[in-house]
Amino acid sequence: MKFILPIIILTSLFLTACTSNQPVAHSTQNMLNQKFIDELKNGAPLYFNKNSSEIDSKYLIYLSAAAEVLNRNPHFILALQGHTDSSGSASTNKRIAYTRANAIRSELVTQYGVSAEQVTVEGVGSVNPIASNDTADGRALNRRVVATLKIK
């Protein structure tokens, strides 16, 4: 009698798993992608090292999630807004900010098959800091590209 309840529970779990339309791994991947998509809708910052436009591999999950949405929805765009710390001249910072944002755009187009028309690029430079440029940590936070998913 004490084994009946565990057998019923195990049987119902087995039957549920066997009749599910999506594999568990696929469902987990969808939930993970949805997390990154939600962050992109709110504007996800992707940070860069000083004097670099190289995309850190930890941000590739954001690019993958964005590409999935963009490739399935031609009415969506990804707005990329590049920012820098205050080191250097205003014109140099705008160029670096644009170069970083464009590096992300290029990666999306060449590696993920996203239409170039679905990705906008803007180099803002150092005019919108999110942290103090007086410290190394603050400057690191200001070296970013904000990626935002939008509807055209």
CATH of the domain at 51: 3.30.1330.60
Which sign, positive or negative, has the C-alpha torsion 47, 53, 56, 57?
positive
- Per-residue tens of pLDDT for the chain, all 152 residues: 555 544 444 444 444 444 445 444 455 556 667 899 999 999 999 999 999 999 999 999 999 999 999 999 999 999 999 999 999 999 999 999 999 999 999 999 999 999 999 999 999 999 999 999 999 999 999 999 999 999 98
| Cα distances (Å, whole numbers) of residue 94 to 83, 109, 125 | 8, 22, 4
Q: Which domain holds residue 142?
A: 45-151
The answer to the question of residue 25 being in a domain is no
